[in-house]
A = this chain, B = another copy of it.
Amino acid sequence: MLIVITGPSGSGKSTLANRVLEELENVEFSVSHTTRQKRDTEIEGKDYHFVSEDEFKRMIQDEKLVEWAVVHGHYYGTAKKELARGTEEGDILLDIDVQGAGQIREKHKKAVFVFILPPLFPELRKRLEKRGQDSESAIQKRLGVARAEIQAYREFDYVVINDELTKAVEELKSVILSQRCRREIREKEIMPILRSFAERD
Interface residues of A (CB under 8 A from B): 114-115, 117-122, 146-147, 150-151, 153-154, 156-161, 170-171, 173-183, 186, 189-190, 192-194, 196-200
Q: A171-B177, A177-B171, A190-B117 are in contact. Are A182 and B197 (CB under 8 A)?
A: no
Q: A171-B181, A174-B174 are in contact. Are A121 and B158 (CB under 8 A)?
A: no
Copies in the complex: 2
**Please, which residues of chain B bring their CB within 8 A of the CB of A117?**
190, 193
Q: A177-B174, A181-B174, A181-B175 are in contact. Are A197 and B158 (CB under 8 A)?
A: no
Contact of A173 among B174, B176, B193, B199 (CB under 8 A): B174
Report the Cα distance A183→B114, complex, angstroms. 9
Please tell me if the beta carbons of A159 and B174 are within 8 angstroms of each other in the complex. Answer: no
Q: Is the contact region of chain A dominated by helix, strand, or loop, or is it mixed?
A: helix
Report the Cα distance A183→B175, complex, angstroms. 12
Please tell me if the beta carbons of B186 and A150 are within 8 angstroms of each other in the complex. Answer: no
Q: Given A117-B190, A122-B196, 12 more contacts at CB 8 Å?
A: A114-B181, A119-B193, A120-B196, A121-B196, A146-B197, A147-B197, A150-B194, A159-B186, A159-B190, A160-B181, A161-B193, A173-B174
